[in-house]
Homo-oligomer: A and B are copies of this chain.
Amino acid sequence: MVCGRPPYGTLTILSVSKLTDVPKRILIGRALRSDKLGETLLPKRIALPVFASDPLSSVAYAPGEVLLVLSIAGVSAYHFSPWIAAAVVVLMFTVVASYRQNVHAYPSGGGDYEVATTNLGPKAGLTVASALLVDYVLTVAVSIASGVENLGSAIPFVVEHKTLCAIAAIVLLTLMNLRGVKESGKLFAIPTYLFVAGVFVMILWGAFRGLVLGDTMHAPTSDYEIKPEHQGLAGFALVFLLLRAFSSGCAALTGVEAISNGVPAFRKPKSKNAATTLAMMGLLAVTMFCGIIGLAMATDVKMAENPAQDLIHNGAAVGSSFVQDPVISQVAAAVFGDGSFLFIILAGATALVLFLAANTAYNGFPLLGSILAQDRYLPRQLHTRGDRLAFSNGIVLLAGAAILLTWIYGADSTRLIQLYIVGVFVSFTLSQTGMVRHWNRHLRTEKDPAKRRHMIRSRAINTFGAFFTGLVLVVVLATKFTHGAWVALLGMVIFYGTMTAIRRHYDRVAEEIAADEAPSDDSMKPSRVHSIVLVSKLHRPTLRALAYAKLIRSDHLEALSISVDPAETKALKADWERRGINIPLKILDSPYREVTRPVIDYVKGLRRESPRDVVSVYIPEYVVGHWYEHLLHNQSALRLKGRLLFTPGVMVTSVPYQLESSEAAKKRARKRAEWNAPGSVRRGPVERRAKEPTSKS
C-alpha cells in the first residue's frame, strides 16, 4: 500500500477474512490454484448444478407457498392444488422453451439485459437490469431464509433463532465471496445432485409405499385442522385466491434465466449444450415440484398462513410457539420417518442447495455490474474483471440489502417471497418481447425458407412466452402488490434512478472533455516548464527526487523549502552548500508552520507571471508497508498534492522512496492480484488473444 489514503475497505476485509479461513477450508476445501480461469469450460453435467441450483432449490419453498395461500379458503381448497401445479408446469415449459430461443440467438451470454437493450432500447434494458439487481438481493434473502427453515426442521435451535442464523449465514457467504471464493463446479455438483437424488428417492419411495405397499403415510400435521380465514369463498374471490396461489407457485421459476447469461461457460457447441441443460433443468424442476405437491396431498400436509391462530390441534389453536416446517420436510418426515437418517440427509442437502442458490446471486451481481459498467450505468471500475475493491463494494451492497430485508421480514421466507416474483417476471416479459422484435428484424432480411421457418417458429414460441409471462406479471402485481411487491418495485425504481444519474454524469463529463475536432488546440499548447522540487531535509528520498528532476531537462529547475523552523532551515542551507548541489534553493517562510498554502501561493505566482508556462512539482514520497505508517508519513504531501491539482497548469510528480517496510505491502498487493472475482466460472473464460501482453505500435 502506498501514496493516497490506504484502502481501508480492503484492509479491513482482509483482516476480517482471516477469520473465515477455517470455515472456508471446511466448506470448500483448499482453493485449487491449477484450475485457473480460462482453462475450464463446463460440461453439461457440471453446468446443470452451477446454473440450476437457484431454480431447482426453489421447489423447497414453492409447493408450500401454494398450499399456504389455498389454506385461506380452508383445507377443502387444497384440491385445487393439482390444477395450480399444472399451470406452473405449463408456465415452466413455456419459459424454458422461450429461453432456449434466447440461448440460440444470443450465444454471447448477454442475458435479458442485452436482449431488452438491443431490441427494445436502453430504457427497457435498464428496467430489466434494475429488476435483476433487486432479484439478486431477494435471491439471497429468500434462499437463506428458506435454507434456515429447512435446516431448522432437523436442528430446532436454528429455527428458534431464525433471523440471527439467517443473518449469520449471509455474513458468512459475504465474507467468503469478498475473500474471492472460486465457484467450483464440484462444489455445486455434489449438494445439488444429492438434493435432486434425495427428492427423487423420496417421491419414488413415497409412491411405492403408497401405491404398491398401500401404506398410509402421515405428515406431522396430518391430524391438524385449518380454520379457514374466509369460509366458502366463491366466484371472483375464489378466482383471485387461486391466482394468488398460482403467483406463489411461480417462485419455482426464479433463476431460470441464469443459463442464458452463462452460455460462454459451456463446452462447444455452446448454444446447443446450454439449450439442452435448460430443458433438463425444466424437466427436473417440474417433476420435483409436482411430486412434492402430490406427496403433500397424499400425506395430508397442512400449511396455514397464520399457523399460530388458524392451525387447530386437538380443538385448540397451536399458538405462537408452534413452528410450521416446510412442506418438503413434512413430506420427508412422512415418507422416511421423522428424524430418520434419510430425513436428516435430505434436510441437510436442501439447506445446502439453498445456500448455494444464495451464492449464485453473489456471482451474478458482479457480472451484471460489469456489463452495466461497460454501458456507463455504473462506475467504470466495475468493468474491470477482478477489480477487487469494486466487486467488494458491490458485494457489500448486495449483502447489506439482503440483511436489511431479512431483518425487517424476520427471515420469514413466506413474506419475502411476496417481493420476489415481480422482478423475475418483469425481466421475463421484457426479454421475451425483445425476442419477438429480434425475430421480426431478422425475418425482414432473411431469405432462406428453411431458416425463415425456423425463425417463425421461434417467434411464435417467444410471442407465447411474452404473452404468458406478461399475464403472470399482471397477476403477480394484482395479487401481491399490497403484500410486499411494492417494496420490490420501489427497489427497482431506486436502482433505475441511480443508474440513470450515473450515466447522465458520465455523459456530461464526456461532453466536457471531448477534444475539439481541430487537430491542434491552442489552449493545450504550453510553452515552457518550470520545475520545482519540494525539499524538507537532505535525506535519500530528497536526493533521489533532485537527481530525477535534474535528469528531466526542464526550462527552469529549482528546489523549494518551506521554513517552519529557523534552525532546521539553517541546517538545510548548510547541508545544501556542503554537498555542493547545483540547484538553486528557494526558501519560503511559513510563520504558522503551514506547508500547503505557501507552496500554492508560490505556484500561483509563477503562473501569473508567465501564464503559458507549466509548473511541474516534484514531491519526494515515502512508500510504507502498513496502514498505520500512513498516519505518520506523507500526510502533508498528500494534502499538498490534493490542493495543487486544483491549480491549472500544474503537474504533480511523486518520486517514491521505498522504505524497508514497503516489502510487506508489496507482498499483500501481489496476493490481492491473485484474487479470483466471484462469477468467473459461470461467465466462462475470456478468449486470451496472446499469452504475454504483446505490443503493436
Nearest-CB distance from A361 to chain B (Å)?
Answer: 22
In the assembled complex, A693 has its CB within 8 A of some CB on chain B:
yes
User: CB within 8 Å of B: which of A127-158?
Assistant: none
The residue among A3, A592, A635, A686 with the most chain B CB atoms within 10 A of its own CB is A592
A4 and B4: CB pair below 8 A? yes
Measured CA separation A694–B605 after assembly (Å): 12
B614 and A385: CB pair below 8 A? no
Measured CA separation A209–B217 after assembly (Å): 96
Chain B positions within 8 Å of A646 at CB level? 2, 623, 656, 658, 662, 665-666, 669
In the assembled complex, A344 has its CB within 8 A of some CB on chain B:
no
A513-B541, A646-B658 known; A379 vs B635 contact (CB < 8 Å)? yes
- Residues of A within 8 A of B (CB-CB), count: 116
Q: Which of A175-183, A239-247, A282-290, A502-510 contacts B (4 or more CB under 8 A)?
A: A502-510
Q: Which of A332-340, A404-412, A544-552 contacts B (4 or more CB under 8 A)?
A: A544-552
Measured CA separation A53–B57 after assembly (Å): 70
B614 and A551: CB pair below 8 A? yes
B588 and A381: CB pair below 8 A? no
In the assembled complex, A528 has its CB within 8 A of some CB on chain B:
yes
A380-B636, A656-B645, A688-B591 known; A513 vs B528 contact (CB < 8 Å)? no
A553 and B553: CB pair below 8 A? yes
In the assembled complex, A172 has its CB within 8 A of some CB on chain B:
no
A385 and B594: CB pair below 8 A? yes
- How many monomers of this protein are in the complex? 2
User: CB within 8 Å of B: which of A528-581?
Assistant: 528-529, 538-544, 547-548, 551-554, 564, 578-580
B585 and A697: CB pair below 8 A? yes
In the assembled complex, A302 has its CB within 8 A of some CB on chain B:
no
Chain B positions within 8 Å of A161 at CB level? none
Measured CA separation A690–B552 after assembly (Å): 34
B5 and A697: CB pair below 8 A? no
A-B interface, 3 closest residue pairs, ranked by CB to CB distance from nearest: A645-B656, A5-B5, A381-B635
Q: Which of A118-126, A479-487, A595-603 contacts B (4 or more CB under 8 A)?
A: A595-603
A381-B635, A587-B696, A686-B591 known; A547 vs B526 contact (CB < 8 Å)? yes
In the assembled complex, A493 has its CB within 8 A of some CB on chain B:
no
In the assembled complex, A654 has its CB within 8 A of some CB on chain B:
yes
Nearest-CB distance from A84 to chain B (Å)?
Answer: 46
B548 and A651: CB pair below 8 A? yes
A654 and B632: CB pair below 8 A? no
Chain B positions within 8 Å of A597 at CB level? 673
